[in-house]
Structure 1
Amino acid sequence: MVFRKNHSVITQLLETFNDYTLAIENKKCVDVIFFDLAKAFDTVPHDRLLKKLYHLGITGALLNWIEDYLLNRTFTVLVESKNSNEYHITSGVPQGSILGPILFISYIFDIIDICKTDNVTPKLFADDLKAYTCFDFLNKNHYSPLQTFIQTFTKYCEINGLKIAVSKCSSFHIGTKNPFHQYTLQNINIPIIPPNEPIRDLGIYFTSNLKWDSHIKITTNKATRIYYTLIRSLKTNNTQFLITLFKIYVLPILEFGSPIINPYLNKDINSLENVQHKFLKIIYLRSMKHNNSPILPNYKELLELFKLESLSHRRLKSNLILFHNIISGKINLKHDNTYSILPTTTRGNPHNLFIPFCSSTIRKNSFFIDIPNIYRKLPTELQKSSIELFPKLLNNINLNNILSKSNSILLSPDLIQNF
């Protein structure tokens, strides 16, 4: 769900990809159906919405206020300075408002419970719904639970006045031995995403082998376009001003979804770092334009000069902070006991973590395996610190001294020279 405290796109995707990578580790397959509700926010019937709010315990003056807010609204269409006739709005929640999304979630809050199906995991974020099932490829009846969920969800939509855009739904199949079953919705085949074609889920692009090539390519291209636009549009030589703009407009693009992607291949790490490196080279040369032959520092020197961290270093710290929030109970995530906290009789380490051995590279480098392995190497005082204090103390830690293998997390000397 969305609009819940300490829940976000990232927390939902962490749960989802934990299930995906665990299935790969166990030599299983995953079938995923991505649903699309046609004009979801515009089709919510007002009368049904008010009834659901009443059953949720919203009554009296508040319910009357919401009723006045929704009903007796009209609209006209303006075409070339001419207005159409006035029409009453009988459905939909006002978009662009604060209350609109809350009303929509209140309307569909019961989807998960009503459509509950054994061996199927549904994930809902606003109007984005997906459902998946993990199965052994030898199971000839593996498709039955997910097909049952599809039928149940279809009935739910019919009862609640919601429409499914079947042509925009898709089925996604994970696993080398996945039989690629053809699922149907309203007697229409749901389009199957080809194995090498990426799908976009809540802003993250990935292929059926759970690789991030597509996402990183799309992300780096977008980030590069934005910083080139900034460089061309602004003639200033003020490097701090340009770096501030880079942090505001470019870094969020490069770092979105980092806990899920958690790059571990050198080519992926380099691709992301190269965006920041090229930007720093440009602003350095611009600031030195009066020098006929400036000596261009390498990437590490540029980072030191402009008091910046490598993207790899920023990702690691961000992931450690997120995991600390999870293990401290601030963020409640379902991770199927991927790691476990063993009892301890000492007053030392507060989190005696046990992380199971993983044979698959994808699973080994996933968030709930990779980050706990690093977290347990942190000093005891740091692990025992409060949620508020942890980020500050982490800044004082030399992570290179903690990690036995740094090239998958921080830039190694070899990588720096390649820049």
Structure 2
Amino acid sequence: MIPSLPLKTLQNVEFRNLLTGRFVIVMAFRMLATLLGWWVYQLTKDPFSIGLIGLSEVIPAVSCALYAGHVIDMNEKKKLLLICNYAYVFLIGLLLIPAFLNVELHFSGHQITYFIYTVIFFTGIARAFIGPIVPSMIPQIVQKINLPNAITLNQATFLISSVCGHAAGGFLIEFYGIKWTLTVIIGLIILASFFFWKLKPQFSSHKKGEVKVMESIKEGVSYIFKTKEILGALCLDMFAVLFGGAVAMIPVFATDILKSGANGLGLLNAASDIGSMIIITTLSIVPLRKNQGKVLLAVVAGFGLCIIGFGLSEYYWLSFMFLVLSGMLDGISVVIRGTIVQLKTPDHIRGRVLSANSIFIMSSNEMGQFESGLAAKLLGVVKSVVVGGTLTVMIAASVGVFNSKLRKMQY
């Protein structure tokens, strides 16, 4: 395959609309994540309560993910994307009730916290669908020769919006408070829908009712398990980030260890995404040419070492730099894993494979948030982060030894 010219894919107007809509909605989601972590910790002063945010979302998201993949493959994707978009508008809008009417309705801190968990539970159902839809639409929008470049640009867009969302979230919380930050988040989600409306419909190649649900789900899952490169890459991501993710505990570090306040929280939350953004932007211009499997294993191990450094640091800017470096290494991992999954998945089962992929991602991120909260409660915040980073290094070494296909993988 002859590589496409750098950024050539952006000449595609529909692809630009898809990326712009994704940029706006991911920015809103990252602002929301920053706000919820800060809000819940201020209400409870308990690190474990932050972990419960992730658990509240991941349980319905993982439970619905395989069925969501079937629905995506069997139905028109643009319509599903817009339904999920407006479901988020409604659900996040419910959080305005305690934000604006807390004093009038005399809510207690625990009541607000439980209400947040309930709303996030239902957003988890929407996430099961919206997560795989955008990547599943890309191969039908761009030519195959431009697909690796499109995947890199998609990841770069995701990370740039994450940086903007985390930083903007911290800034808005500091200067305008929770209720107006929520208002901005809802406005951004509505704005994203305007770009999604401009996309062309993408109809399924399957006739309605042609494939039974369980048979459809089984086909997607079995394809992952028989394709060792995909399985190895997804397992590596899930277990490494599950134990090595320190982001969930950043509100605790910012408040109790580094004494940096809400502005410092926003910058720390954005730090790993800044690193990822830098490296992914570089990779969109100078792509990896060989030994991608070995590189993947090396960067995951390096990611774990950075998390150990972050956990041990007591200086704000040193902690910030460890997170930036971890983001750079994770960015390389994201590009390699995303390209492996897209290039090795046929179009007719792409939604199901990407939905199964989303289980691994959600398990690593949201279950990682819960694991971080539980480990922090049992071991203490600093020790839990150091132990998690150590386990990440060990997992990378183990996958390298036992999965030779992934180790030798090149594309």
- Shorter-normalised TM-score: what interval? under 0.3
Q: Which has the higher contact order (CA 8 A, sep 6+)?
A: 2
Give the TM-score normalised by structure 1: 0.26
More strand by share: 1
More helix by share: 2
Q: Larger radius of gyration, structure 1 or 2?
A: 1
Give the TM-score normalised by structure 2: 0.27
